[in-house]
Amino acid sequence: MSGLGEADRLLRERGISEHFGAFVAAAAWTRDGSVCACALGDGTLALADAAGFRRVAAHDGAALALAPDLGPAGFLSGGDDGRFLAVAATGEITEIARFGLKWVEHVASHAGGCRAAAVGKKLHLFDQTGRAQKQLDHPSAVTGLAFDAKGKRVAAAHYNGVSLWFVASKSDNPRRLEWKGSHIALAWSPDNDAVVTAMQENALHGWRLGSGEHMRMSGYPAKTQSLSFSRGGKFLATSGAETVVLWPFTGGGPTGKPPVELAGGDGVLCTRVACHPEHDAVAAGFADGLVVLADISSERILPVAAPGRGAVSALAWSADGANLVFGTETGFAARVDFTKR
Amino acid sequence: MAETQQVPVTVLTGYLGAGKTTLLNRILTENHGKRYAVVVNEFGELGVDNDLVVDTDEEVFEMNNGCICCTVRGDLIRILGGLMKRRDKFDGILIETTGLADPAPVAQTFFVDELVREKTRLDAIVTVVDAKNLAARLADSPEASEQIAFADVIVLNKMDLVSDAEAAALEERIRKINRFARIHRATRAGVAIADLLDQGAFDLSRVLERQPDFLEDDSHSHNEDVASMSFAAEHPIDPEKFNAWISALLAAQGQDILRTKGILHYAGEARRFAFQAVHMMADGDFIGPWPAGAKPASKLVFIGRNLNRPQLRRGFLACQVEPAAA
């Protein structure tokens, strides 16, 4: 009892939380780090500033995707009602586009001025005014989306690989990174040289863009749903095992190097990871609801929230690393303050 | 306990024009008090009258697991995952496939993906066939026999367009292809909902619950592309021998063997062992004891192409603890 109570100390003393009773599909922060949002399965967004949560009706159906918008104080949201929305931190909603019966499954933006929404096989790009810029076609549905650090290129995962598009290019010929199979999530390294995908077969695949070299990382008991590069790109943190699996991306890794494994021992699958934006630390959520913060070099584990509130399904740091938001499949959501006091 | 929370999924297959969408709308408008999420393909013939309709492209891919026939529907994995985010909004899921679809990737999706298995269960594959055009379809397209072969329930539709004698002949042809499907004759897809939904066709505890027709089809007169064969073994089965035999058989011929179902009497075991497979994807477990008064006996049914009856029989009988004299 006291152990579990202790595991909840951070949440109790530094967190605000609420039970919304709807699946938390995604979580994100505004770029200025002031407000976080959880996208819920009932179509609402739960926005939280330091004072508390409030609900905003956004989608007629489920909210599926959420990301920071390109400005300092807003979000992008996609839903199974086919709507792609800009949601201000104040809760004000602007519809950017509407795609009928198709789901808006992935959204992303770059502060440099580009917004992206993946709808079926198409990737739609919009500018800051909401004007459609491009429609990029893929051989199958887009299953993951990421801009490079400079916002020059956008990567889209799909069957048999990844397409890299230059956002400003006139020709729209993608560079195709090929690997047979179904790729279901994607991450781009901070130095822009590595693109890594999670695959249906409980493994990761990666490409070095400079050398064209392939990388394979396997051994997971379950599918990896969440991938996150550490601050300087030294590690790639992943879910899908009963520990937080971190692949070293330095010194010739990850090929031929064993991963670092943190926060194991409970026999429970890790479901979400989010690397800290300032330090070599990773927040991780598990299938039993446990949330921890792990320091990668010392391997010290700091509990954030005790198990028991549903499998963790969303996790995100504010850009300054001061605040964490997480949510669960049963609809619990919390914002936790990590600033020095 | 967890099983009762799994959302049942019914798959509707059938050729273009057979009456799939009519059947779908019939299920949706019937007064059953249940809500369904409906997954339709982009080539759907008619409108579907429902609150929650998902439009999808059928995206089949091959698993990188060394098994060439292990194809699954990636779009369904995504859609079922997405629907689970609002699962309090419906009681079941109906999936309509395109007319030319091979049902195997849909069925295999439920064997392969852990999250799909955890949150949903494939209840049954329902195939609608057009009584008037079935013979022509069987002659000109392999998908037609595959859709019958994979079916747990077959709606023999447009009965108003054929005579009783023609209908009987059609049923016989369907039986040659698939001996454990339930056939319902219908006009304008008029079938009782209870005959379509909650069939538990992929529930191991109900495998071969209904006796397949054990007609010996030694007459090869029809020479169907796809056929079904049933075998019975009198003596108890040695689990190790059976596993070795069935694994090797499905690995070698799993592309041709579409479905396998069996109830086995393992030596020294009071419970029945149930077995099923879709191509090479197999699943098996112990289910309850033999019914009181019934003599334990093992049964195995194959549906597929190029099935070699003597070879299959010999192989199965050799799994017995005391093999019957050849």
Q: Which amino acid would we find at residue B210? A: R
Q: Are A232 and A133 found together in one domain?
A: no
Give the pLDDT mean for B115-140: 94
pLDDT of residue A4: 62
Q: Are A102 and A223 found together in one domain?
A: no
Residue B56 · residue B79 · CB < 8 Å? yes
Q: Tell me which chain B residue has its CA closest to the CA of residue A331.
A: B85
The CATH number of the domain holding residue A122 is: 2.130.10.10
Helix then strand then coil, % of chain A, to nearest 5: 5, 55, 45
The DSSP result for B29-86, as a single string, is HSS----EEEEEETT-SS----SEEEEE---EEE-SSS-TT-EEEHHHHHHHHHHGGG
CB of B61 less than 8 A from some CB of A: yes
* pLDDT tens-digit readout, B260-291: 999 999 999 999 999 999 999 999 999 989 88
**H or E element at residue B103:** none
- Name the domain boundary from A137, A154, A189: A137
Q: Where residue B62 falls among pLDDT bands split at 50, 70, 90?
A: confident
Could you say which of B55, B64, B75 has the minimum Cβ distance to residue A181?
B64
pLDDT of residue B216: 52
In a domain, residue A185? The reply is: no
Residues 114-133 of B with CB under 8 A from A: 114-115
* A6 three-class SS: helix
Please determine, for residue B314, whether its predicted confidence score (pLDDT) is greater than 80: yes
- Return the bridge partners of A93, or none: A87
Give the pLDDT mean for B92-100: 92
pLDDT of residue B113: 92
Backbone angles phi, psi at B94, to 5 degrees: -115, 130
Tens-digit pLDDT string for chain A (341 aa): 445 668 999 999 999 999 999 999 999 999 999 999 999 999 999 999 999 999 999 999 999 999 999 999 999 999 999 999 999 999 999 999 999 888 999 999 999 999 999 999 999 999 999 999 999 999 999 999 999 999 999 999 999 999 999 999 888 899 999 999 999 999 999 999 999 999 999 999 999 999 999 999 999 999 999 999 999 999 999 999 999 999 999 888 898 899 999 988 889 999 999 999 999 999 999 999 999 999 999 999 999 999 999 999 999 999 999 999 999 999 999 999 999 87
pLDDT of residue B252: 93
Q: Which two tokens stand for residue A61?
A: 């159906």
Strand B92-96 to B7-14 pairing = parallel
Please determine, for residue B213, whether its predicted confidence score (pLDDT) is greater than 60: no
In a domain, residue A288? The reply is: yes
CA A304, distance to chain mean position in Å, is 19
In a domain, residue A194? The reply is: no
Among A59, A101, A158, A328, the residue to mutate for chain B (most B Cβ within 10 A): A101
Q: What's the domain count of chain A? A: 2
Q: How many other CB atoms are found less than 10 A from the CB of residue A131?
A: 9
DSSP state of B320: B
Residue B21 · residue B45 · CB < 8 Å? yes
For chain B, residues classed under CATH 3.40.50.300 are: 2-203
Residue B50 · residue B158 · CB < 8 Å? no
Tell me the chain A residues in contact with residue B84 when contact means C-beta distances shorter than 8 Å: 23
Q: Are A8 and A124 found together in one domain?
A: yes
pLDDT of residue B323: 54
Domain range B2-203, CATH architecture: 3-Layer(aba) Sandwich (3.40)
pLDDT of residue B3: 43
Tell me the chain A residues in contact with residue B59 when contact means C-beta distances shorter than 8 Å: 140-141, 159
In a domain, residue A56? The reply is: yes
In a domain, residue A90? The reply is: yes
Q: Are A131 and A237 found together in one domain?
A: no
In a domain, residue A260? The reply is: yes
Q: Which two tokens stand for residue B248?
A: 């090797």
CA separation for the pair A275, A203 (Å, rounded): 20
Q: Tell me which chain A residue has its CA closest to the CA of residue B85.
A: A41
Among A20, A23, A106, the residue to mutate for chain B (most B Cβ within 10 A): A23
- Return the bridge partners of A132, or none: A126
For chain B, residues classed under CATH 3.30.1220.10 are: 223-317
Q: What is the 3-state secondary structure (H, E, C) of A208-250?
A: ECCCCCEEEEECCCCCCCCEEECCCCCEEEECCCCCEEEEECC
DSSP state of B267: T
Residue B150 · residue B181 · CB < 8 Å? no
Residue B96 · residue B21 · CB < 8 Å? yes
- Name the domain boundary from A137, A165, A198: A137
- Name the domain boundary from A97, A121, A137: A137
Say if the Cβ atoms of B55 and A200 lie within 8 Å.
no
Say if the Cβ atoms of A64 and B54 lie within 8 Å.
no
**Position with higher pLDDT, B273 vs B217:** B273
Distance from CA of A6 to the nearest CA of B (A): 30
pLDDT of residue B220: 47
Q: Which two tokens stand for residue B322?
A: 């005391």
* pLDDT tens-digit readout, B180-212: 899 999 999 999 999 999 999 888 887 777 665
CB of A242 less than 8 A from some CB of B: no
Say if the Cβ atoms of A140 and B59 lie within 8 Å.
yes
Q: How far is CA B221 from CA A21, A223, B134, B290, in A?
A: 61, 49, 18, 37
Residue B110 · residue B117 · CB < 8 Å? yes
Residue B105 · residue B71 · CB < 8 Å? yes
Residue count (chain B): 326
CB of A223 less than 8 A from some CB of B: yes
CA separation for the pair A66, A89 (Å, rounded): 13
pLDDT of residue B44: 59
How far does chain A reach from its first CA to its final CA, in angstroms? Answer: 27
Q: Tell me which chain A residue has its CA closest to the CA of residue B87.
A: A41
Tell me the chain A residues in contact with residue B115 when contact means C-beta distances shorter than 8 Å: 223
**H or E element at residue A206:** strand A203-208
Backbone angles phi, psi at B109, to 5 degrees: -55, -35
Distance from CA of A205 to the nearest CA of B (A): 12
pLDDT of residue B225: 83
Tell me the chain A residues in contact with residue B86 when contact means C-beta distances shorter than 8 Å: 22-23, 41-43, 61-62, 80
In a domain, residue A237? The reply is: yes
Say if the Cβ atoms of B86 and A61 lie within 8 Å.
yes
Instruction: Give the HSE-up count for residue B135: Cα atoms under 13 Å, Cβ half-sphere.
Output: 10
CB of A100 less than 8 A from some CB of B: yes
Among B51, B53, B62, B86, the residue to mutate for chain A (most A Cβ within 10 A): B86
Please determine, for residue B325, whether its predicted confidence score (pLDDT) is greater than 60: no
* A280 three-class SS: coil
Percent of chain B with pLDDT over 90: 67
Residues 272-291 of A with CB under 8 A from B: none
Say if the Cβ atoms of A62 and B115 lie within 8 Å.
no
Backbone angles phi, psi at A193, to 5 degrees: -95, -20
pLDDT of residue A196: 98
CA separation for the pair B188, A55 (Å, rounded): 47
CA separation for the pair B174, B137 (Å, rounded): 12
Residue B113 · residue B55 · CB < 8 Å? no
Residues 248-267 of B with CB under 8 A from A: none
In a domain, residue A184? The reply is: no
Domain that holds residue A29: 1-137
The ipTM assigned to this model is 0.91
Question: For the domain bounded by B223-317, which CATH number is listed?
Answer: 3.30.1220.10
